[in-house]
Amino acid sequence: MATNSNQLLSNAAVAESTSKNKTTGSSFTVSPELIKKINELLVLPIPGRDEFWNFEGLTGPGKGEKKVLGLFKKRSLSPEELQDLRKSAIQSPGNTRIKIQKLKKQYPNNSNLYMLSAICTHGMLLNSSNQSEVLIGLKAATKEAGISVLSNGISVYNCDNFFKIYFTLLDRLKRNQIRNLETVKEDPRLENFKKPIMNAIRQIDQLATEKNRVFNVMNHLKKKLKSSQYIVVFDFARIKEAIRHIENGNLKEKVLTGTASEVIAYIYALAVAFARTPVLWKLVDEVLTLFPDSTRSLLIRKISINSGRHFMMFKLAAIESERENMSKLGKMILKENMLGVQRLEGQSLYQSYETDPFFNIAFIAEMTVGLYKDDDHKKIIATALSAIDSLIKRDMSKNHIFTEAATNHSHKLTGLRDGGSPKEQLV
């Protein structure tokens, strides 16, 4: 079972507070209910921090439904039935959720029902005044929605609803964390609980910074696709098909909602959003296994996706002051993006994903000041300056849209090279 480091820290704080009370002869006893609330608020939606968030996708649509086939004479719900459920999940979430729970017993591996259950739970809780009930419900809904997407269920409809539920959870978690932090601050004998809660708030803030970026992606895809295509699932078999066409140079071959090139662009955009969402990191692994290293455009996208995840890991580690982990992640980001730069050697740069390796090297050089030995970091800065200089020279995008950002990085890196204060720059 995964270890929740935040809960261990909270328990240690309880022990220290209790010990102080005994020493001073105070009759003060830490409220078990308060400790329970604090521990609940420290269980963040980050896999590895708590067993609750270490979930898998379903075993496969239809597998568990064969047993009831003889009784119900059909393998799964019809498109018409699902469409009706989608409408009623919005209009009458309470009654629809009861119906969906019954259907889940008949079709235990139907990923659509998991998403619909999550949507109903989310709708029911939005106006609830019971904060404890809201958090428990939103955690369950986020997990169900995550299971649905992870079960080969990548669609605009599923992803959009997952993110709505997920960011609602982050918002409500932070509200409760702040409320409990104020309670802790009221009594100096609870001083040891402040740091775990404040770190949890910072981590929630970090996760929440992706909200605008994620919904920009979703809104972009909605504009690209017809509303009737929102429910179309980009299953792994079709993604593989699109990738085969890309490898063979058939970029305009029809696949699902568009050309092979368009489908890969959609999946890349979604995977970048997944990479910045720890709950979906297993899905990121699934997607990355589909992208081969042999085709340059697919490899560069793969590096871009994975680096997004590694940057999120780095930032979360920085909040916890986990310098050893930060060091490993910094080297990992540098290595994978150097590979990207090498594979793009001599190529003109037109697309955003093509410039990611260059910018990522600059970002990690700026974010790791003070983390490595001075000589080692000077080499990283020199590498970053070389990458940025190359990007500026090879920017062939319309109106050279990447050059301004690259120039800003060049000025910052030059300042660091020429005497920036390492300790002040460290994340």
Judge residue 64's burial from the number of C-beta atoms within 10 Å of its C-beta, 0-12 exposed, 13-18 middle, 19 or more buried.
middle
The residues of the chain scoring below 70 in pLDDT are 1-30, 60-75, 420-427
Give the pLDDT confidence score for residue 120 in this predicted structure. 97
Say whether both 54 and 202 belong to one domain: yes
Q: Is residue 174 part of a domain?
A: yes
Range of the domain at 364: 332-427
Three-class DSSP category at 255:
strand
Helices 352-367 & 403-417 angle (0-180, nearest 10): 20
Q: Is residue 124 part of a domain?
A: yes
From start to end of 257-330, where are the E strands? 258-259
Structure-token pair, residue 360: 């990522």
Helix ranges restricted to H, 126-259: 131-150, 156-185, 194-208, 211-224, 236-247
Alpha-carbon torsion (5, 6, 11, 12), positive or negative:
positive
Q: Is residue 348 part of a domain?
A: yes
Q: Is residue 152 part of a domain?
A: yes
Q: Which of 110, 117, 100, 106 is nearest to 62 (CA)?
A: 110
Q: Which residues, in sequence order, are CB contacts of 80 under 8 Å at separation 6+? A: none
End position of a domain, from candidates 163, 188, 208: 208
Q: Is residue 326 part of a domain?
A: no
Q: Is residue 243 part of a domain?
A: no
Q: Which amino acid appears at position 417 of this protein?
A: R
Q: Is residue 156 part of a domain?
A: yes
Give the pLDDT confidence score for residue 421 in this predicted structure. 54
Structure-token pair, residue 71: 């009784």
End position of a domain, from candidates 208, 225, 256: 208
Query: What is d(CA 104, CA 257) in angstroms, rounded to the nearest whole number?
Result: 29
Query: What is d(CA 333, CA 264) in angstroms, rounded to the nearest whole number?
Result: 23
Q: Is residue 191 part of a domain?
A: yes
The count of structural domains within the chain is 2
Give the pLDDT confidence score for residue 42 in this predicted structure. 84
Give the pLDDT confidence score for residue 192 in this predicted structure. 82
Query: What is d(CA 346, CA 134) in angstroms, rounded to the nearest whole number?
Result: 54
Q: Rounded mean pLDDT of the chain?
A: 89
Say whether both 44 and 185 belong to one domain: yes
303-356 pLDDT, tens per residue? 999 999 999 999 999 999 999 999 999 999 999 999 999 999 999 999 999 999
Question: Which residue, chain included where needed, has tokens 């702040």?
Answer: 178
Query: What is d(CA 192, CA 9) in angstroms, rounded to the nearest whole number?
Result: 9
Give the pLDDT confidence score for residue 191 in this predicted structure. 81
End position of a domain, from candidates 158, 193, 208: 208
Q: What angle do CA 168, 212, 131 make, to 5 degrees?
A: 15
Q: Which of 360, 380, 362, 383 is nearest to 372 (CA)?
A: 380
- Contact in structure between 214 and 20 (CB atoms under 8 Å): no
Q: What is the DSSP letter of 63?
A: G
263-282 pLDDT, tens per residue? 999 999 999 999 999 999 99
Give the pLDDT confidence score for residue 1 in this predicted structure. 35
The total of other beta-carbon atoms located within 10 Å of residue 63's CB is 11
Dmax (CA) for the chain in angstroms is 78
C-alpha dist (Å) from residue 112 to 75, 198, 255, 407? 14, 37, 22, 47
